[in-house]
C-alpha cells in the first residue's frame, strides 16, 4: 500500500502554517541573540535618522518630499529592510555546503515553500520588534506621518506581503547559488547591498535622475522597499496604488517561479558534499 | 515484482580538478587558470533487486559509491543513466510522494530540528507526514519503548549524546511507518551496547512491520546480525549480490586452525612438513597456523592428523571471519 502526499490545499496550508509556527517558536528561543543583533540595527537606524534630519532643512520641498515625509520614508525603509534578514540565504547556502540539504530533500515538503514558511516565522519575530522600535522612534522623535484611511493601510499591508515574497525569492536564489559557488558569502553581501540601494532602502529613489528612477521602478528591487514605503508616506496615492501593487504582484509571481526554476536546475546537477 | 529495482544505474559527478602545477606564478592564481573538468564515475552500471521484507546489507570500501546509491534510491540524487524504482515510484521524479513511503537515516547527519525538544520534532513530523493522531500515538509509544526514548522526549536534540540521537533519528524515520528503510552507516561511532540495541530493534521492526531494509555499514557485525542478504560494491561496480550464507560458503572457504607444539624446532618441522589438504603454514614461536579449504577437508581431519604425528600442547579452531574475507575482497585478492 503506497501513501501519497496530500494535494488538498487545506492540508497543505495546515502543514506549512505549522512550519511557520515552529519557526516562530524556534526564533523566539534565541531572543537574547536576536535582541543583540537588533541593538546594532537600532544604532544604525538612529544614526541614519540623525544624519538625514541634520542635512535637510525644515519646510524645504525635496523631490516631492516634505521634511516629515522624507524622515518617515527613511525610517520605514530601514524597518522594511530589516525584515527577512540574512537567515534564509545563509541557511540554504550552509545546507548546500555541508550537504545537510539532504535532510531537506528527504522530507515530503516543497523546498521553496518550506524555507518560505521558515522565513515567515522569523519575520513574525523580527516584525514585532521592528514595529515597536519604528513606532517609538517615529512618534517620539521625528513626528512621523502615517496613513489614516483603511484602504491605504490595507494597500500598505498587502504591499508588505508582496515585498516579503520578492525579498524571500532574492534571498532564496542567492542561497541556491551555493550549488555552483560553494562559498556565497561575497554574493550575500553584494546581493543585500545592491538590493538595498536599488530598492530604495537607504535613500528614496526619487533622489536619483529621473530616467534612472524610472528604470529602477520597473525592476523587482523597488518592490522590496520603495513601493510599500511610498504607499505609507503617500508618495503613491489614489489610482497609482493599484498600478504599483499590480506591478509588485507580477514581480512576486515571476520571482517565485524563477526561483523554482533555478532550484530545479540546481537539483539536476547537485553534488552532495560530504559523501 | 521487486520492491526495489535498479537497472544499469549510473552516476557521474563532474568536478573541477586542481590547477596544473608548475605553470608559472600567474597560472597558480586561481582566476587566471581554468581548472580542468574531471568526471568521477561514482556508480557504474549497477543492477540489483530487493524483494518486499528483505534485509540487505550494502557493503563496500570508503568511496565505493554506497552513499550515492542510497541517495539515488531516496530521491535526493538524480542518476545520470539507468533505471531505478522503489515501491513502484521513480524516486527523483516523485520525490515528495516517494518521501512519504520511505524512512532514511544517515549516521553522519541529523534530520531532526537541532533546537527543538525531541517531542516537538516528532510532532512536527506528524504534521509533515500527515499521520493520524491515533496512528501517531501508537507508533510513538511502540518506538519510544523499543528504542528506550522515554526520558529523552523532553530534551532538545542538541543536548542528546550520539547514541541517544541515533535512536531518536531511527524513531523519526519510522513514525510514518515507511515501507522501506534506508540506513547509511547507522551504527557509526556508537558503543557496543547501543549498536546491539539498534540491531535488535531493526530485526524486531522487520518482523513486526515487515519493513524492507537496506543498510550500508563498515561494521560487518551489523550485517551478520541483521541482514540475510548482501550486496558488495567496489569502485562503483557490483562485486557480489546474494545471500550471506552463500557469501560465506563461496568466499570464506579458506579456514584456519592453530596448533601449539612443545617447542620451536618442532614447530619449524611442522611448517616444513607437507600435510594433506593444508595449503599454507606459518610459524610464530611454538604456534603454527595452518590454512585449509573447507570444501576439501574438515578441521577434525587436520587436527587428528597433526595430533597423531606431532606433540601438540594446545589447539584452536578459528571461526571463519567475514571481516577478513571482505578485507581481502576490497584489496582485490579474491576476484
Here the cell at position A46 is 538612529
**pLDDT digits over B119-153, tens only?**
999 999 999 999 999 999 999 999 999 999 988 99
Kindly identify which residue of chain A lies nearest to residue B121, measuring between CA atoms.
A22
So what's the pLDDT on residue B21? 55
Query: Would you state the pLDDT for residue B14?
Result: 79
Of the two residues A58 and B165, the one the predictor is more confident about is B165
Which chain B residues have a beta carbon less than 8 Å from that of A265?
none
Distance in Å, alpha carbon of A191 to nearest chain B alpha carbon: 22
Which pLDDT belongs to residue A112? Answer: 96
For B213, the grid coordinates are 531494509
Q: Mean pLDDT of all residues in chain B?
A: 87
Count how many domains chain A has: 1
For B:54-93, CB contacts with A below 8 A are: 63, 67, 71, 74-78, 87-89
What per-residue confidence (pLDDT) applies to B263?
A: 87
Among A15, A103, A110, select the one facing B109 at the smallest CB separation. A103
CB-defined contacts A:B, below 8 A: 86
| Burial of residue B254, with CB atoms counted within 10 A of its CB: 0-12 exposed, 13-18 middle, 19 or more buried | middle
Mean residue pLDDT of chain A comes to: 88
User: Least CB-CB distance to B67: which of A3, A30, A275?
Assistant: A275
Contact between A6 and B130 using a beta-carbon 8 Å cutoff: yes
> Rounded CA gap, B175 and A47, in Å?
52
pLDDT tens-place string over residues B55-94:
999 988 888 889 899 999 999 998 999 999 999 999 999 9
d(CA B97, CA B133) in angstroms, rounded, equals 21
- Find the angle CA(B191)-CA(A102)-CA(A92) to the nearest 5 degrees: 120
Cα separation of A146 and B282, whole Å?
Answer: 94
Q: Do B99 and A110 touch (CB under 8 A)?
A: no
pLDDT for position A250: 97
B99 neighbourhood in chain A, CB within 8 Å: 5, 106-108
SS3 of residue B59 by DSSP: strand
* pLDDT value for B23: 57
Q: Averaged over B254-283, what is the pLDDT? A: 86
Of A180-184, B34-38, B270-274, least confident by mean pLDDT is: B34-38
Per-residue confidence (pLDDT) for residue B277, from 0 to 100: 84
Cα distances (angstroms) measured from residue A133 to each of A34, A112, A130: 14, 30, 5
pLDDT band at A273 (very low <50, low <70, confident <90, very high): low
What range does the domain containing A254 cover? 2-272
Residue B265 has pLDDT above 80, yes or no: yes
Report ipTM for this prediction: 0.86
Identify the bridge partners of residue B259 per DSSP, sorted by sequence position.
B288, B315
pLDDT of residue A274: 47
Percent of chain A surpassing pLDDT 90: 43
Highest average pLDDT, of A203-207, B134-138, B294-298, comes from B134-138
Whether the predicted pLDDT of B22 surpasses 90: no
Rounded to 10 degrees, the C-alpha dihedral B88/B90/B92/B94 comes to -60
Instruction: For an interface test with B, give the residue of A1, A2, A3, A31 to mutate (most B CBs within 10 A).
Output: A3
- Residue with the bigger pLDDT between A232 and A64: it is A232
Cβ distance A2 to B116 less than 8 Å, yes or no, reads: no
- How big is chain A, counted in residues? 275
pLDDT for the residue B230? 92
Amino acid at each position: 500500500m503506497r501513501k501519497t502526499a496530500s494535494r488538498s490545499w487545506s492540508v497543505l496550508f495546515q502543514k506549512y502554517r505549522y512550519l511557520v509556527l515552529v519557526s516562530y517558536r524556534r526564533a523566539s528561543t534565541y531572543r537574547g541573540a536576536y535582541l543583540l543583533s537588533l541593538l546594532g540595527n537600532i544604532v544604525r537606524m538612529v544614526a541614519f535618522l540623525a544624519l538625514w534630519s541634520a542635512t535637510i532643512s525644515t519646510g524645504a520641498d525635496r523631490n516631492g518630499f516634505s521634511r516629515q515625509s522624507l524622515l518617515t520614508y527613511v525610517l520605514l525603509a530601514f524597518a522594511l529592510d530589516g525584515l527577512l534578514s540574512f537567515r534564509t540565504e545563509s541557511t540554504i547556502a550552509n545546507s548546500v555546503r555541508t550537504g545537510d540539504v539532504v535532510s531537506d530533500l528527504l522530507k515530503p515538503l516543497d523546498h521553496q515553500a518550506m524555507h518560505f514558511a521558515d522565513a515567515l516565522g522569523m519575520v513574525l519575530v523580527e516584525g514585532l520588534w521592528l514595529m515597536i522600535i519604528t513606532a517609538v522612534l517615529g512618534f517620539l522623535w521625528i513626528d512621523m506621518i502615517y496613513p489614516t484611511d483603511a484602504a491605504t493601510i490595507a494597500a500598505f499591508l498587502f504591499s508588505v506581503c508582496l515585498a516579503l515574497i520578492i525579498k524571500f525569492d532574492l534571498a532564496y536564489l542567492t542561497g541556491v547559488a551555493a550549488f555552483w559557488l560553494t562559498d556565497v558569502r561575497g554574493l550575500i553581501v553584494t546581493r543585500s547591498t545592491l538590493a538595498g540601494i536599488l530598492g530604495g532602502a537607504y535613500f528614496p529613489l526619487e533622489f536619483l535622475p529621473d530616467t534612472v528612477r524610472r528604470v529602477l521602478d520597473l525592476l523587482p528591487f523597488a518592490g522590496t522597499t520603495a513601493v510599500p514605503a511610498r504607499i505609507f508616506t503617500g508618495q503613491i496615492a489614489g489610482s497609482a496604488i493599484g498600478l504599483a501593487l499590480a506591478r509588485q504582484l507580477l514581480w512576486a509571481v515571476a520571482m517565485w517561479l524563477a526561483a523554482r526554476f533555478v532550484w530545479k536546475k540546481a537539483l539536476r546537477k547537485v553534488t552532495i558534499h560530504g559523501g | 515484482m521487486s520492491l526495489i529495482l535498479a537497472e544499469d544505474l549510473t552516476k557521474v559527478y563532474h568536478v573541477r580538478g586542481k590547477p596544473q602545477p608548475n605553470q608559472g606564478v600567474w597560472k597558480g592564481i586561481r582566476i587566471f587558470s581554468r581548472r580542468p573538468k574531471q568526471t568521477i564515475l561514482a556508480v557504474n552500471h549497477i543492477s540489483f533487486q530487493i524483494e518486499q521484507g528483505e534485509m540487505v546489507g550494502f557493503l563496500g570500501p570508503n568511496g565505493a559509491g554506497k552513499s550515492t546509491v542510497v541517495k539515488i534510491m531516496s530521491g535526493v540524487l538524480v542518476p545520470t543513466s539507468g533505471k531505478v524504482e522503489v515501491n513502484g515510484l521513480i524516486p527523483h521524479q516523485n520525490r515528495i510522494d516517494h518521501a512519504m513511503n520511505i524512512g532514511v537515516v544517515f549516521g553522519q547527519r541529523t534530520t531532526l530540528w537541532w533546537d527543538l525538544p525531541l517531542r516537538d520534532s516528532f510532532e512536527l513530523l506528524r504534521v509533515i507526514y500527515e499521520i493520524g493522531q491515533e496512528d501517531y500515538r501508537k507508533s510513538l509509544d511502540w518506538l519510544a519503548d523499543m528504542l528506550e526514548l522515554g526520558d529523552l522526549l523532553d530534551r532538545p536534540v542538541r543536548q542528546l549524546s550520539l547514541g541517544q540521537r541515533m535512536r531518536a533519528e531511527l524513531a523519526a524515520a519510522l513514525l510514518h511507518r515507511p515501507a522501506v528503510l534506508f540506513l547509511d552507516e547507522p551504527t557509526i561511532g556508537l558503543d557496543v551496547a547501543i549498536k546491539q540495541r539498534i540491531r535488535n530493534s531493526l530485526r524486531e521492526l522487520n518482523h513486526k512491520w515487515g519493513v524492507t531494509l537496506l543498510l550500508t555499514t563498515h561494521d560487518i557485525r551489523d550485517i551478520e546480525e541483521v541482514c540475510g542478504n548482501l550486496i558488495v560494491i567496489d569502485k562503483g561496480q557490483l562485486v557480489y549480490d546474494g545471500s550471506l550464507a552463500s557469501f560465506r560458503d563461496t568466499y570464506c572457504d579458506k579456514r584456519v586452525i592453530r596448533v601449539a607444539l612443545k617447542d620451536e624446532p618442532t614447530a619449524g618441522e611442522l611448517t616444513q612438513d607437507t600435510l594433506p589438504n593444508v595449503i599454507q603454514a606459518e610459524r610464530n614461536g611454538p604456534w603454527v597456523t595452518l590454512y585449509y579449504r573447507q570444501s576439501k577437508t574438515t578441521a577434525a581431519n587436520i587436527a587428528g592428523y597433526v595430533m597423531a604425528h606431532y606433540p601438540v600442547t594446545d589447539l584452536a579452531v578459528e571461526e571463519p571471519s567475514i571481516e577478513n574475507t571482505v578485507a581481502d575482497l576490497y584489496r582485490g585478492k579474491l576476484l
